Structure 1
Amino acid sequence: MAIKRNRRFHPEIPTASLSDIMFFLFLFFLIISTLANPNVIKLTLPKAKSNETTNKDHITLSVTEDQRYFVDKTEVSFSELENKLLEQTTLKGDKVVVVRLPADNKVQDLVDVMQIGVKLKLNFVIATAK
């Protein structure tokens, strides 16, 4: 009489550590996506009924409520603003500047910045929130 053993091989994939790996990848991409945002300077932008998004990497000029000026996340004084914009336009080869001003700033702040743009023959676009 032949006795058969009932030991068949059942393939099994251990997935206990897979959830841990997916959690760490999720955290990694979440942190990296917040760091990759070009508009890190938080401003309450003026509202508009319709707005268009730019898909090109333009020069960003941000003005805060306390008159601090940022050109692509680097702070510059108002006296150095013209030279920094000229330097960035020659470096990037782009004449479009996205201006980010708070909604409650004075109009004179916008006019002062626009005069620099007219002097350098730049195209200014005002950023708005929907």
Structure 2
Amino acid sequence: MPQIKRNKRFHAEIATSSLSDIMFFLLLFFLIISTLANPNVIKMTLPKAKNNEKTNKQNITLSVTEDKKFYLDKQEVAFDQLESTLLTKMAGAKDQAVVVRIPYNLQVQDLVDVLQIGVRNNLKFVIATSAK
């Protein structure tokens, strides 16, 4: 009796139609989360530096705009009230640092005026930069 050979061989298949849906939802999720990462930011062009060090997000952010408006964590403050407002915010934690975000095209004197507040009160000031 002759043996019967099968012409059809078994080929393993993987259904990938649902993987594209999952990848789309993951991409959408990470895009939304990345935009919410730091909501206390006022948009400005920062000075460039070769070495950037990431800071703790619990720091107080002091932003200076090009038209010399001062913001403490997105709250506008007049320059003459900046020192007292900053001291009240930092009353609980003296080891906390203040991240100074100042545009690259402002004068050096504007930066020095802000840093003098930290010198007078023994506060830690860090200047924010963007990657070069």
Q: Does TM, normalized by the shorter one, top 0.5?
A: yes
**C-alpha separation between the residues in 1 aligned to 2:55 and 2:107?**
29
Residues 114-125 of structure 1 mapped to structure 2, 5 A cutoff: 114-125=115-126
8 Å Cα contact 1:62/1:99 also seen in 2 = yes
User: Gaps (5+ residues) in structure 1?
Assistant: 1-12
SS at match of 2:48: coil
The number of aligned residues is 118
Identity among equivalent positions (%) equals 63
C-alpha distance in 2, partners of 1:99/1:110?
9
Residue 67 (structure 1) shift = 0.9
Residue by residue over 1:40-84, the C-alpha shift from the partner in whole angstroms, topping out at 9 and shown as x without a partner, is 322211223x32313422222111101111222322222221122
Partners of 1:78 and 1:88 in 2: CA distance: 15
Change (3 A) 1:108 1:55: closer
Rounded Cα–Cα distance in structure 2 between residues aligned with 1:108 and 1:55: 25
Give the match for residue 54 of structure 1.
Answer: 54
1:36-51 alignment to 2 at 5 Å? 36-37=37-38, 40-48=41-49, 50-51=50-51
Taking only aligned residues, the RMSD between alpha carbons, in angstroms, comes to: 2.5
CA contact (8 A) 2:52 2:129 kept: no
Q: CA deviation at 1:125?
A: 1.7
TM-score w.r.t. structure 1 length? 0.72
For structure 2, list consecutive stretches of 5 or more residues without a partner in the other structure: 1-13
Mapping 1:29-108, distance limit 5 Å: 29-37=30-38, 40-48=41-49, 50-57=50-57, 58-108=59-109
**1:33, distance to aligned residue in structure 2 (A):** 1.3
Q: CA deviation at 1:102?
A: 0.7
